[in-house]
Amino acid sequence: MSVFVAAVIAFEILMRSIFVRPTTWAAESTIFACGLIYLLGGAWTLLEDKHVRIDMLYGKWTPKKQAVIDCITYLPFSLYILVMLWATWIYTAESIKLRETTMSPWDPPIYPMKIAMTLSLVLLYLQGTAKMIRNLYFALTGRAL
């Protein structure tokens, strides 16, 4: 996806600078592609355990205590993601119903991005739940799942 973004930007620069024929679609295409990278990166970042945390405390704890803390913090995470998912679902359904577009000169539909937002939150919630289950198992047994 990043390669696509770079190629579109390079194409737009070439068209605008050399051929003096700017495109109407390149800017929004890169915004949509970067948005997808951001949205779909959340669950992957959680899978790789690369989200930001206060490591000056967390890093000093034993792995078992880390797992317990991660299980406790799953509750606010879950609540936040479920509220976001509920709100995003409403916006997505409305956008699909209205066949919402960007209203720009290119005027692409915007509801596919809203569908991607909803799916990315589902993936993030599923990944967070899987991580919580692994942490709970480790906290109870001392063995990794």
Tens of pLDDT, residues 44-79: 999 998 888 777 888 899 999 999 999 999 999 999
Which percentage of the chain shows pLDDT scores above 70?
A: 100
SS (H, E, C) the chain: CHHHHHHHHHHHHHHHHCCCCCCCCHHHHHHHHHHHHHHHHHHHHHHCCCCCCCHHHHCCCCHHHHHHHHHHHHHHHHHHHHHHHHHHHHHHHHHHHHCCECCCCCCCECHHHHHHHHHHHHHHHHHHHHHHHHHHHHHHHCCCC
Token couple for 91: 């916006």
Q: Using the predicted structure, report yes or no on whether residue 119 has a pLDDT greater than 80.
A: yes
Mean pLDDT, rounded, for 116-144: 96
Which residues, in sequence order, are CB contacts of 133 under 8 Å at separation 6+?
Answer: 145
Q: What's residue 96's pLDDT? A: 97
> Quick one: pLDDT band at residue 97, thresholds 50, 70, 90?
very high
Mean pLDDT, rounded, for 26-37: 94
Mean pLDDT, rounded, for 4-25: 94
The pTM of this model reads 0.87
Mean pLDDT, rounded, for 75-96: 97
Q: Using the predicted structure, report yes or no on whether residue 8 has a pLDDT greater than 80.
A: yes
Q: What's residue 33's pLDDT? A: 94
Average pLDDT, the chain: 94
Q: Give residue for tokens 């001392």.
A: 142
